[in-house]
Structure 1
Amino acid sequence: MRETLRGLVELTRPVNAIAAGVLTLIGAYVAEGIAGRPAAAAAAAIATVLAVGAGNAINDYFDADIDRINAPGRPIPRGAVAERAALAFSVALFAVAVGLALTLPLLALALAAFNLLALVAYTEFFKGLPGVGNAVVAYLGGSTFLFGGAAVEGDLAPVVALFALAALSTFTREVIKDVEDLAGDREEGLNTLPIAVGERRALLLGTACLVVAVLASPLPYLTGTLGLAYLALVIPADLVMLAAAAESFSDPTGGQTHIKYGMFLAAAAFVVGRAVAL
């Protein structure tokens, strides 16, 4: 029983799920809404944690055969959690997340409903399509900020900028992860971007998306939405992500890990920029 409970927790990728909840809170804060609607911000953050955990669990359910090659230590391949139990656990988490989302404003509820459909469609249909699965994950990652802003009915202008930058950099990271998982994906017959166009071309496309994000990152400062403190932090974040993209050509595992650090630093830039502006 203890091993099963441990396995269920592992299915959610708790660090990633909690990080997504924090990003939702960041979206609410950047939209200037946490102080006015703390309960809504908390409900949105908890719903995000549960939904991301559910999505990770259902992804492991659909990927059980692939994980036996790519990640045999995960709960299902190692026998800690049965496939049906993983599915039931995912459905239960989704149900609680939906219940929390029903307490939020209409725009946030609409985003939650759309994201739920996108997540299920990704795991069932889009994951193995070249570039499409990466784009869906990129949207879902960036939309956590939008969800937080919509939940507190705040100013969405800076949050939209944060969403766009996060989505582009997430797309890059997902392409790098596909290169990292190439052997298992090819064995399973998936047609991911590196398989369809080659590793180098896929990485070049991912890097190009990141360059667009980097070039666009000063816009919140140039438009006067965020101040100099934002720019002082976002430039180092850009440099970290560009270095990680370059690293991915020789070390995809290191590249996808390090680009995540730059993404969190970029999110911090928005928080500091908003804090100084208030």
Structure 2
Amino acid sequence: MREFLDKLQELIKKEEKFCVATVVRTIGSTSAKAGSKMIIGKKGEVLYGWIGGGCAESSVIDEALKAMKDGETRFLNLSMEDEITGTGMPCGGKMDVYIEPYLPNPKLLILGHGRIAETLCKLGKLMGFDVIVNDSLADESKFLDAKEVIKDDLNYDKIKVDEDTYVVILTMHKNDDKILKKVLGKGAKYIALVASKNRTKIIFKYLLEDGISEEMLREVNAPAGLDLEAKTPEEIALSIMAEIIMKRRGGTGRPLMEIKKVNLKEEEKEVNLKEKVEVVGLRC
């Protein structure tokens, strides 16, 4: 158990994605026993433990990769009736496995300063983001919720973008084009440019002339935010954060009353918990 906990701490410190698979119940003849654990890394590699090997392990790894992608836990019922003898688990047994993904906080990269940026920083922390502010004029006393404030990066060489990064550019149009060149095509989850429609056209035209493709420019959400008729800096920040949450969770941005209309004549449906248990075929 100590080795298991040490490995968890190591992965958490590195801010890496991983899954923990735990055998919660076995029926019949199985190699793994209840309580057996396995840690699966972001590429599907086994970092610790064992839950039976063979087809059972392959099936759990497949589901772990899906869990790391969508952030959802899984409860698997693995039946070994079709298991080939000699692959690590005898025929006839059944095993329930709980898979729990551990994901580092997504990053909110704010490039700029001012009241919109300050409010975004506060909202980002509340929403569970690790906020990084990169701007030479940023007042650290106004970004107390930021995990990091970078002020010595005039060429934006310290910008790090990955699939869990949300980028908001609000430099008051001083370095918009320079920053976009740094973040486009890097796989960011979301890129927003705080600019008017006309200003956006000017920036896009310049970038096209500079060799940036139209396909890459489609990554940019500009003007940024959802249509809330926002007027104040705080309202604008809220509209941008709403768009970020929509992107992160796969929402539509539509009013819930349109999507989940209340029908007083509709009978309530009972929730069958058994439907939430996924029976997975073994992958050999």
Q: Which has the higher strand share?
A: 2
Q: Which has the higher helix share?
A: 1
Normalising by structure 2, what TM-score? 0.26
Indicate the structure (1 or 2) with the bigger Cα radius of gyration: 2
Larger RCO: 1 or 2 (CA < 8 Å, sep 6+): 1
Normalising by structure 1, what TM-score? 0.26
